[in-house]
Structure formats: C-alpha cells, structure tokens
Amino acid sequence: MSLLYRILSFCLIIAGLLLSAGCSVKTKMQKDKESFVESSSNLLIYIQQGPCAGKCTVYEASFYSGKQLVYNGESRMPLIGKFRYLLPAEMTKNLIFEAVKMNLAQLPDSVEIPEGAQKIVLKIVMNGKMKRIVASPSNCDPVFRNYIRMLHTEVCAMVTEQEGVIMP
C-alpha cells in the first residue's frame, strides 16, 4: 500500500507541475495580447483593401507608433494570415510625411464605389487628426491612388523581407 501511495503522490506532483507550467504559458500569451490591445490606441496608419469581382489583393495592415505593423493577408498577397512585425524606426513617420506632402487631408472622405469594384479604407493620423478615406482604385483621386500604391509596396516588402510573429 505504501508503494501505491508513493506512486500516486509522485503522479500528483508531476500533474501539478505540468498544470502550473501550462498556466504560466497562458499568462504570457495573455500579456502579449494585452500589450497589443494597449498599443491599438496608438494607431497611425490603417489600410484595408477589400475583395472585388476580379483578382484583387485582399489584406489589412495597421501601423502603430510603437514601430509595429500588424498585417492580415487574406488573398493574392505574398503572405496569408495574421502577423506582427517590428518596423524600421523612420518608416511610419516617412509614410505620414508623404501623406501630408501629397495633401491627403484635402481629399473627400469617401467616393461612390461602383458595384463589384474594390473598396479601400485608409485611416491616417496627420497633424494630430485622424483622416478616414473610403474609395475605389477605379474612381479615386490619382493622388490617393499613388499613396495607396506606395503603402501597398511597403507592406509587401515588409512581409516578404522580414519574419513576422504569428498572431491568433
């Protein structure tokens, strides 16, 4: 009976250690998620390219002040899935500078989007204010189209050149 008691005690100790290790991993995952939630208030640039009737790239990317890029590729992108990247120090600042230089603040907030056309949503903080533009590449201002191309190129370069952290 004492041998059985020792074996059961040993098994309970091992089970307790395994459970406590699992809890600490869960706590670390929760902390990572909480830190992301806190940083979401520091959004500087957000782009979402939706589906269309043809062959469009579908993704969203968020640039944060903490030098983070959160990317979610859905189709026709170099990488599919949700990932987080550490950005080069000046990248987001330069993208905002280009938006100010191109005078995106003067563009209309939205334009009519033809049926079947791709919808693009851009949110960007310029001069301390959030500007939201909803447009379609088929009927938007050329300045907006050029900025979207530049932003798209930067996002594609980032996801192909760096290894991101997979997000749930």
pLDDT value of position 36: 45
Higher pLDDT, 123 or 27: 123
Residue 20 covered by a domain: no
- How many domains, in total, are found in the chain? 1
Q: If you average pLDDT over residues 7-14, what whole number do you get?
A: 57
Residue 36 covered by a domain: no
How many residues would you count in the chain? Answer: 168
Identify the sign of the CA torsion 112, 99, 125, 127: negative
Confidence of residue 66 (pLDDT cuts 50, 70, 90): confident
Q: CB within 8 A of 50, min separation 6: which ones?
A: 56, 58, 118, 119, 120, 121
Q: If you average pLDDT over residues 147-159, what whole number do you get?
A: 94
Residue 132 covered by a domain: yes
Residue 29 covered by a domain: no
CATH label of the domain that carries residue 128:
3.30.1560.10
Q: Give the range of the structural domain holding residue 59, as residue numbers without chain letter.
A: 41-166
Residue 10 covered by a domain: no
Q: What tens digit of pLDDT does each residue of 88-122 get? A: 889 999 999 999 999 999 999 999 999 999 999 99
Q: What tens digit of pLDDT does each residue of 68-80 get? A: 999 999 999 999 9
Residue 19 covered by a domain: no
Residue 25 covered by a domain: no
Residue 31 covered by a domain: no
